[in-house]
Structure 1
Amino acid sequence: MDGDNTKQKPRTFRVTSFDVAAEAGVSQSTVSRALAGDPVVSEATRLRVAEAARKLNYHVDNNAARLRTGRTGTLAVVVICRPDEDRKDLNPFTYSLLGTICAAASARGYETLVSFQDGPQNLSGRYEEQRKADGIIVIGTTQNQAAWDYYRELGESGMHWVCWGSPFDDSEWIRSDNHAGARLATDHLIEAGFRQIACIGSLDSLQRQFGERYEGYAERMREAGLEPWLVEIEEGLSREEQGRRAVRALLASGKEFDAIFAVCDEIALGVLRELTEAGVRIPDDCGLIGFDGIRASAHAMPPLSSIQPDFSAAGAMLVDKLLAVIAGTAHEQRRVPVTLLARASTRRG
């Protein structure tokens, strides 16, 4: 019969989170948490669930999930700039950090909404109220007090937020291990034979990292029986210009020095250019090391030694801390590990 020759179409079954749970060997609730990026779920479990979902071709219904949980599935990232600063002139460190934040959010199933803000005309952080994001990560310069005051006030009103390099110790922040990094930089200079080591930085800057870096430098200097020496930067200038002016003050003082630890790479690059123009040879006459590990430091002449934070860890820690804040759970990690990048600017002989 004709009917006997008719091929039956195979039935299609919709894969559910229960199927993924069975494949991964976890509960259905764990699947939901893992695919939503909940920091309660371990990285190993999250990866196992993600692999099971990929194998079964399972995709989360984001619209249904948002309706069910009240979450947007988006994290806002606000980059604070100096007023009227051209975006192409932003510290390269900021762009590196921004990239790792977006990558970490994506790995946890979140989209990112990025905004560059510098003044009253564009300060806007009410993403949660407007149902545009579940929380905010704030990064960028501390040379914009008004912007940081604005976000601190929003945070006090209940906004979920975390920040990098906050001028406020009472906010939820992530920073480099500045103290350990400065000790590492100073120890590197001492081991290279330098003894009259000046630090170009600040104890009073809203950039709390600078004070932490000076303290690490000063501690290691005293341990070595050497006298710490701080050359203060001028506030309100670009980092490069701060470095240049600090060198002018250093040379005008008449005090002998054979090395400089600059508390950030952009300051160090200004130091390098000013010393070179003054006829001071790096590293023969003066060793030089910075902090931040920005890409431009590797292409300086000579290449600049630096202390580099683990950028991938920084992005992941910022995202995980924000997700913990949103979930109301603990996340105690605050310090990003650092490593020494030893280059020609500190290499004698």
Structure 2
Amino acid sequence: MGDTADKPRPRSFRVTSFDVAAEAGVSQSTVSRALAGDPVVSEATRLRVAEAARRLNYYVDNNAARLRTGKTGTLAVVVICRPGEDRKDLNPFTYALLGTICAAASTRGFETLVSFQDGPANLSGRYEEQRKADGLIVIGTTQNAPAWDYYRDLGQSGMHWVCWGSPYDELEWIRSDNHAGARLAASHLIEAGYRRIACIGSEASLQRQFKERYDGYAERLAEEGLAPWLVEIEDGKAREEQGRRAVQALIASGRPFDAIFAVCDEIALGALRELSEAGIAVPAQCGLIGFDGIRASANAMPPLSSVQPDFAAAGAMLVDKLLKAIAGEPHEQRRVPVTLLARASTRRG
């Protein structure tokens, strides 16, 4: 008997948004905005309206709503890939971020339209003009400058968009708190007793996050009176290959080192493989920590320490920043919080 109270009520007549408004104790206009995912409506009110709609077995006529409001109820997500890159070889970080974006959009009442793009043959971002989406989120590699140039130029047309880790600071971007995360990584290595700590990364890469991570690492080492040491990655190579080649250069330099901070996990995984092949034991002879917290890092041998951004927060911030832009409202949050994942690759003794 108790279970029947939670089931949608059968109706012999057509339920309207006015019925939902009466059930939820709000105005009809609030119902419309809540079910359309309007960010002006608080989360508590949106949930109350959604529950009232469920109880009354009310469904939005999406076609009518789109005609009436001029909105599609859809957000486009473009994943930029390296030219010719097999989609299964994309950085796992990108797939994790894509999943949280889609989840955040769904929670806010939006569908997502996802496109993987890598070159002139398939670069296409005019979703608003074509009435396919209300706005656009761009994520993916920075190792495709023509694609980012395309979207930067397209953005000047007035479309609503936001991106993750943009190579251009003037764009509307969201990034990890890279500086603080790199300080966490450096502090962790220092506290574990490492003193000759190299950084595999770049100050000049279009991946602006790498520079921010190097700066945080260098600042923390300087506070301890330790000398920062940057081993530059080679442009155009896959991340794991960049890590392997950087370790080769590190060994060839003859300069003693006892730990490495790699500015992303895929670089760190390449470094780990090269260290193993060179007979350098991790963590006994060389501590190793990455950044991004991808799942593969936990399955490495030994498991890789890393700095992980809050993926759920990243997806939510990207969606909310876009929805605020669509609504013509400010959204100043840009930095996603990070946490340290201490694993065996930095655990001495």
Q: What corresponds to 2:303 in structure 1?
A: 303
Partners of 1:260 and 1:11 lie apart in 2 by 66
Q: What corresponds to 1:7 in structure 2?
A: none
Partners of 1:270 and 1:54 lie apart in 2 by 50
Partners of 1:137 and 1:343 lie apart in 2 by 33
Which amino acid in the other structure matches residue 110 of structure 2?
Y
SS at match of 2:195: coil
Alignment of 1:32-181 (within 5 A): 32-181=32-181
- Deviation (angstroms), 1:218: 1.0
How far does the alpha carbon of each residue in 1:260-303 deviate from its partner, in whole angstroms, 9 at most, with x for none? 11000000000000000000000000000000000100110000
Aligned alpha-carbon RMSD (Å): 1.3
Which amino acid in the other structure matches residue 146 of structure 1?
P
Alignment of 1:238-277 (within 5 A): 238-277=238-277
- Deviation (angstroms), 1:21: 2.4
Alignment of 1:272-287 (within 5 A): 272-287=272-287
Partners of 1:281 and 1:295 lie apart in 2 by 22
Partners of 1:141 and 1:324 lie apart in 2 by 25
SS at match of 1:38: coil
How far does the alpha carbon of each residue in 1:81-127 deviate from its partner, in whole angstroms, 9 at most, with x for none? 00011111100000111111111111111111111100111111111
Which amino acid in the other structure matches residue 317 of structure 2?
M
Partners of 1:280 and 1:84 lie apart in 2 by 35
SS at match of 1:158: coil
Partners of 1:76 and 1:340 lie apart in 2 by 32
Q: What corresponds to 1:211 in structure 2?
A: 211
Partners of 2:26 and 2:36 lie apart in 1 by 15
The structure-2 alpha-carbon separation of the partners of 1:20 and 1:260, relative to structure 1 and needing over 3 Å to count, comes to same
Q: Structure 1 residue runs of 4+, over 3 Å off?
A: none
Q: What corresponds to 2:335 in structure 1?
A: 335
- Higher mean C-alpha deviation, range 37-46 or range 272-281: 37-46
Partners of 2:81 and 2:124 lie apart in 1 by 13
Partners of 2:11 and 2:78 lie apart in 1 by 48
SS at match of 1:65: helix
- Higher mean C-alpha deviation, range 190-199 or range 48-57: 48-57
Q: What corresponds to 1:194 in structure 2?
A: 194
Which amino acid in the other structure matches residue 211 of structure 1?
K
Aligned residues: 340
Q: What corresponds to 2:12 in structure 1?
A: 12
Partners of 1:20 and 1:90 lie apart in 2 by 44
Find out whether 1:184 has 2:192 as its counterpart: no
Which amino acid in the other structure matches residue 277 of structure 1?
E
Which amino acid in the other structure matches residue 270 of structure 1?
G
Partners of 1:201 and 1:50 lie apart in 2 by 47
SS at match of 1:112: strand
The structure-2 alpha-carbon separation of the partners of 1:11 and 1:325, relative to structure 1 and needing over 3 Å to count, comes to closer
Find out whether 1:322 has 2:322 as its counterpart: yes
Q: Which has the larger radius of gyration?
A: 1
- Deviation (angstroms), 1:309: 0.8
Identical columns (%):
85
- Deviation (angstroms), 1:11: 7.6
How far does the alpha carbon of each residue in 1:122-170 deviate from its partner, in whole angstroms, 9 at most, with x for none? 1111111111111111000000000000001110111111100110111
> What TM-score, normalized to structure 1?
0.95
Unaligned residue ranges in structure 2 (runs of 5+): 1-9
The structure-2 alpha-carbon separation of the partners of 1:57 and 1:143, relative to structure 1 and needing over 3 Å to count, comes to same
Which amino acid in the other structure matches residue 285 of structure 1?
Q
SS at match of 1:241: helix
SS at match of 1:245: helix
Q: What corresponds to 1:5 in structure 2?
A: none
